[in-house]
A and B are shown apart, each in its own frame.
Chain A
């Protein structure tokens, strides 16, 4: 089954404790992206990747890091999480490097709570 898998689905942690949210897709997609969803703000793009070793900032990259060492994986790293990063996070992928013109397939989300 074609899918985007995120782990963990839920995480409660404390300020300053480094964490990684993993994202993996099995569709051989070139483009991958991370979003955060907050009430009243919709989804906002954090980072995206057009291919292995190629990443770029989205609209709200502050406080986040990403890496793309393999085509299928695109982890989101919070080096020193803060309470304002409490949110629902989504990973997405699409077939083409021109991700903006292709349908994106989303994971089911990771709910992060940072105390």
Chain B
């Protein structure tokens, strides 16, 4: 049973466009929601994270929007660049346990 559901599986965006990746969860005990970026041959790297007491967090071109009542959160990448082409994973955790989404392969076309 997938604790965190992520969509879409793949995404193609033109350079300069907005990339949006969505995640949903059921367990209201989750209290930390990070996004990780993974390039081929590398381990995931933390991109940005949010806690449920905040509805939005922005770091540069990356924004997390969090809707606690809907149990959904999303990653927005503004002004997408070819260098953003990677796989993105959302995750949720409580205590010491982590649950990841299935990943979104983002391709930004020049």
Footprint of B on A, CB under 8 Å?
Answer: 4, 31, 33, 35, 40-45, 48, 50, 56, 58-59, 90, 92, 97-101, 103-104, 106-109
Q: Kindly list chain B residues whose C-beta atoms are within 8 Å of the C-beta of A45.
A: 97-99
Whether the pair A43, B96 counts as a contact (CB closer than 8 A) is no
In the bound assembly, the distance between CA atoms of A4 and B32 in angstroms comes to 22
In the bound assembly, the distance between CA atoms of A108 and B105 in angstroms comes to 18
Q: How far is the CB of B72 from chain A (nearest CB, A)?
A: 17
Q: Does B95 belong to the interface (CB within 8 Å)?
A: yes
* Tally of contacts, chain A with chain B, CB under 8 A: 68
In the complex, which of the residues B46, B94, B102, B103 contacts A100, with contact meaning CB atoms closer than 8 Å? B94
Q: Kindly list chain B residues whose C-beta atoms are within 8 Å of the C-beta of A108.
A: 41-43
Whether the pair A107, B93 counts as a contact (CB closer than 8 A) is no
Whether the pair B102, A42 counts as a contact (CB closer than 8 A) is yes
The 8 closest A-B pairs by CB, nearest first: A106-B43, A100-B93, A43-B100, A103-B46, A42-B100, A42-B102, A101-B32, A99-B96
Q: Kindly list chain B residues whose C-beta atoms are within 8 Å of the C-beta of A41.
A: 102
Of all chain B residues, which has the CB nearest A4? B43
